[in-house]
Amino acid sequence: MVAPLIVAAMLLNGCVPGTVQTGSREKTEAWGTLDWFKRGVSLEQDGQYDEALKAYSASVELDPGFAEAWYKRAAMRETRGDFEQAMVDYTEAVSLYPRFAEAYYKRGVLLKKTGRSDQAISDFTKVLEIDPRNAKAYNLRGLVWDEKGDVRQALADFNKALETDPTYAAAFYNRAGVLADQGKLDQSIADYTMALALNPDFDKAYNDRGLIWEQKLQYPRAIADYTKALEINSRLGEAYYNRGSLWCDLGEYDQAIADFTAFLEMNPNHSKGFYKRGLARSRKGELVTAVADFTKALEIEPSFAGAYLHRGSARDNQGEYDLAISDFNTHLKMNPGSAEGYNKRGLVWAKKGDYDRAIADFSKALAINPGYDEAYFNRGFAWDQKGNFREALADVNKALSLKPNDSNYKRVMGILQKQVNEKAGQ
């Protein structure tokens, strides 16, 4: 067995026996384990990973006790996406050399990637037993604890990583995410800012800090951070999505549509991307393309209840009342607790002149959400159309009590009060 550290020293000093050149025609039958190992290293450095894999395999066949060759072959298998076989090789490496910290670390990374959290934690813990100042192991173990929902352990590990290496931008970034989930927004922003001071090209840190600024209603700062993230990495789809969502909320529909379009070019099967662009187009009044976007979202995700709801609204605004009702029906089958769905369907029934069905839907909406001022107002309108002025007045009065500064509610309230007074005077 050749010890890993000895091999590393030999390679650094050019002392491995048997000079090997990539592409050499010399016969290889007499090569030893170190010859094949050195060939593997050379091929790996040239990016010829498949050939490097073969060379490392030859090395371990000649000396099954060569831990470093198992480790290197594992790394090549990892580059090919063959994670299971890579883990087999990492396991062989640590069984041969129990203090092989990097092999434990790499196996831990793959265990984390493949969802085996407890085993990953065990490997990172083993790394830290061997190398107590390994900031990378603390950081990754913290991520696994966070994935398992153990915030206390996650923060402890991120803190330890930063105590070990105060310049570790990724640990600041990861701790910021946990703090944000805890609602500690100012501390989260401080950590994202520190990560960016250490790594000014950290695109995801700008994107995620933008999300926190958005939660704090600091919209210009959020837009600035999303934009900076995209200046660094124009392929960061999530930044287009997040900025598009905020533009839409701010009523900047053209910019929102442009961002969602850029996002969808990178993510053509993203149902929520089409849905969000559909919302922006619908709010801008581009109903035909909005319906097309909602329809595409539903082709990708047929159980997307929100897409049925908003396609129904767009069809309602197009005057396609029957299609709108069909969409609202589907939405309500999927989401029977949707007060908004009943309210929107009620509006269409009212437009079709079916006030009894409209009143029934508004009443269902109010049973689900007793504080739904729009549903009271809409039911009041339906009562008014049926000539039930007192019921109409009561409902609009209730809507006004829930939203006392609404000028439209006040205006209609005055009209209904006049109608009730005139009827009483007859």
Q: Is 148 helix (H, G, I), strand (E, B) or coil?
A: coil
Q: What does 242-283 look like in DSSP terms, one character per residue?
A: HHHHHHHHTT-HHHHHHHHHHHHHH-TT-HHHHHHHHHHHHH
249 in any annotated domain: no
Q: Which of 73, 98, 123 is the C-terminal boundary of a domain?
A: 98
> CA of 266: how far to CAs of 203, 225, 238, 276, in Å?
17, 20, 10, 15
How far apart are alpha carbons 137 and 171 in whole angstroms?
Answer: 11
Residue 420's CATH number: 1.25.40.10
Which SS3 state, helix, strand or coil, does residue 196 take? helix
* pLDDT beyond 90 at 27: no
The verdict on residue 342 lying in a domain is: yes
> What Rg, from alpha-carbon coordinates, does the chain have?
32
C-alpha 28/C-alpha 268 separation (Å) is 50
Residue 276 belongs to a domain: no
Q: Output 36-45 pairs: Cβ under 8 A, ≥24 positions apart.
A: 36/62, 36/69, 37/7, 37/66, 37/68, 37/69, 37/72, 38/11, 40/69, 40/72, 40/73, 40/76, 41/11, 41/72, 44/72, 44/75, 44/76
Using one digit for the tens of pLDDT, what is the confidence trace for 331-340?
999 999 999 9
Chain-centroid distance, C-alpha 41? 37
pLDDT at 10: 46
Give pLDDT tens digits for 304-349: 999 999 999 999 999 999 999 999 999 999 999 999 999 999 999 9
Last residue of a domain, one of 98, 122, 150: 98
Q: What is the pLDDT of residues 35-68, one digit of tens each?
A: 999 999 999 999 999 999 999 999 999 999 999 9
Q: Is residue 257 part of a domain?
A: no
Pick from 273-282, 353-362, 384-393: least confident = 384-393
- Residue 421: name the closest of 390, 385, 399, 382 by CA: 390
118-123: long-range contacts at Cβ-Cβ below 8 A with a sequence spacing of 24 or more? 120/144, 121/145
373 domain-assigned? yes
Q: Quick check: 28 and 59 in contact, CB under 8 A?
A: no
DSSP string, 96-134: HSTT-HHHHHHHHHHHHHTT-HHHHHHHHHHHHHH-TT-
- 20 falls within a domain: yes
* Residue carrying the six token digits 């950590």: 191
Task: Output the CA angle 314-319-322, nearest 5 degrees.
Answer: 90
Residue 414 lies in a domain: yes
Mean pLDDT of the chain: 93
Given a cut of 90, whether residue 141 has pLDDT beyond it is: yes
Structural domain for 361, as ranges: 337-426
Q: Does residue 124 lie within any of the structural domains? A: no
pLDDT band at 145 (very low <50, low <70, confident <90, very high): very high
Q: How many domains does the chain have?
A: 2
Among 64, 98, 132, identify where a domain stops. Answer: 98
Question: Given this model, what pLDDT does residue 417 score?
Answer: 87
pLDDT tier at 19 (50, 70, 90 boundaries)? very low
* Cα 296 to chain centroid, rounded: 20
Nearest to 359 by CA among 341, 345, 371, 370: 345
Report how far apart, in Å, the C-alpha atoms of 94 and of each of 3, 4, 5 are: 12, 11, 14
* 8 A C-beta contact, residue 71 and residue 93: yes
